[in-house]
Amino acid sequence: MKTPGGQAGRGENKQQCSIEPRQSAMVDTATRKALATLQAEFALTGHAMTWCADDDGLITILVSRWVFAREFDSIEQARAFLRQIGGAR
């Protein structure tokens, strides 16, 4: 996807996530629980969080609020952003 200025979007080379999170068999129960907890913590700060996993179990996390979105490749990166915005104290 191109931005209005014609620049390549940040996630252009990233994995494409569908609207609904894919429940890959490669994502274990503990990881699913951690993602659900993280999603709830983001919701408490007014942010929406979605995630998807590819067939190899690699996770992509998308956090958004209003028209701003951030993409993360790991739970640790997303959790660091959550702390940065004042959540999960």
Mean pLDDT of 36-52: 96
As a whole number of angstroms, the distance between CA 25 and CA 4 comes to 37
Is the model's pTM score more than 0.75? Answer: no
As a whole number of angstroms, the distance between CA 58 and CA 16 comes to 12
Tokens of 29: 């129960």
Least confident window among 7-16, 34-43, 79-88? 7-16
Let me know: does 68 contact 51? Beta carbons within 8 Å.
Answer: no
Let me know: does 48 contact 63? Beta carbons within 8 Å.
Answer: yes
As a whole number of angstroms, the distance between CA 63 and CA 41 comes to 11
